[in-house]
Structure 1
């Protein structure tokens, strides 16, 4: 029996850093303090418009993905008082910063958990809503070797929780008989997987409200006893 596990990335295999807001503040450099641009002030501008948001264009891939985000970041900076030229330059820099592997912190039990899952007979795959070049980041973090394939919204042109990307994932894995989705997002990961007919494991903080997942754990290694 073919068995597969699809893993989310941000907040699942990593501790969730960096956020788009933090990347935007870093991209401004000294201008962030000059114009009093903070992550909290940027928050309202980033609640919508990404490809994985309900109002976003999930079909965006490659350079089209970045063109839309560039306009979004520039507009947010300008709304907070940053001059147009500086706002545009900082928006361009966000693309470089979000790909900086030193800003990401892989969970300490990630590599061992992935290795044990493979030993148990599962094939590991990534299923992420992310920027198009994201696979290069996985290589830099030393995790690419654990995965048989990658389904990335910035390449696939569909985003979780849309059922389409889960069907793309099934085809990529050659239609396994048993499929798990492991993630931290109750909507994108858990609801999306359940709607697709998959098993779902929620990586959550202690005391988190039930997401409807088959399994809820607080660490990756804890998941192993359910597989």
Structure 2
């Protein structure tokens, strides 16, 4: 059995997922303002706008004097501009509304097995925290989805100043948890940002892999979670 004291968790697509594709949410907001844009068009434009903004101002513009709110408002407005919407007043209003809406449980749902697994981990006495490439809305998102109380700390890349796979965000989590890396494990769905990055700083890690996903050759089967409710069995087996 692994001698673990701290478990850190990724959030998006590990504990929470979007209820519908981004393009659908943006199209619904546009319809509310009498603007018709296809969800597929908006989805493609969002990927372009988000990618360009991430390359220009990584980690929500934290090192460039931007707030994450300014960063996201630009992404949303640019998404609509790329989709052919030009009226500034409507763009501003839609961006504000969507920024607020993505902070609520309206747009997020808890993944199957998450609540039960988190509860069982706490019952076993594990200390728990979040390590996520998210902006400062995450505290509120977790609260709205009734998950916040499971965690001693929530560490976002915006707060930390470093985004996964940068090992410094995990080192900060270890300091917050007050444990050495060999007594901690990270759980996430991304091979590079979660699984490998945590191992690079000496932590244990488990990779949540949905059925049908490509297998990463370097991940031993005992580190792979086909579902969250397999976690405690893998820890005990380890």
Sort the TM-score into its range (normalised by shorter chain): 0.7 to 0.9
The structure 1 residue matched to 2:161, chosen from 157, 161, 178, is 157
Counterpart CA distance in 2 for 1:49 and 1:213 is 31
Confirm whether residue 206 of structure 1 aligns to residue 214 of structure 2.
no
The structure 1 residue matched to 2:27, chosen from 19, 22, 25, is 25
The structure 1 residue matched to 2:231, chosen from 181, 206, 223, is 223
The structure 2 residue matched to 1:120, chosen from 124, 129, 144, is 124
Cα deviations by residue, 1:11-67 (Å, 9 ceiling, x for unpaired): 1112444554444333323468624453443244145145xx565422745961121
Cα deviations by residue, 1:152-195 (Å, 9 ceiling, x for unpaired): 12322221111121111111111344111111122221222122
Residues 50-129 of structure 1: pairs in structure 2 closer than 5 A: 53=54, 56-58=57-59, 60-61=61-62, 64-85=67-88, 86-129=90-133
Secondary structure of 1:202's match? strand
Contact kept, 8 Å, 2:7 with 2:185, in 1: the verdict is yes
Counterpart CA distance in 2 for 1:117 and 1:17 is 26
Q: CA RMSD in A?
A: 2.6
Which residue of 2 is the match for residue 139 of structure 1? 143
Which residue of 2 is the match for residue 181 of structure 1? 186
Counterpart CA distance in 1 for 2:135 and 2:198 is 21
Which residue of 1 is the match for residue 10 of structure 2? 8
How far is 1:89 from its partner?
2.1
Aligned CA distance change for structure 1 residues 15 and 175 (closer, same or farther; 3 Å): same
Bigger share in helix:
2
Cα deviations by residue, 1:102-123 (Å, 9 ceiling, x for unpaired): 3222124212211222233321
Aligned CA distance change for structure 1 residues 148 and 185 (closer, same or farther; 3 Å): same
Counterpart CA distance in 2 for 1:77 and 1:37 is 11
Count of aligned positions: 225
Unaligned runs of 5+ in 1: none
Unaligned runs of 5+ in 2: none
- Give me the TM-score of the superposition, normalised by structure 1: 0.85
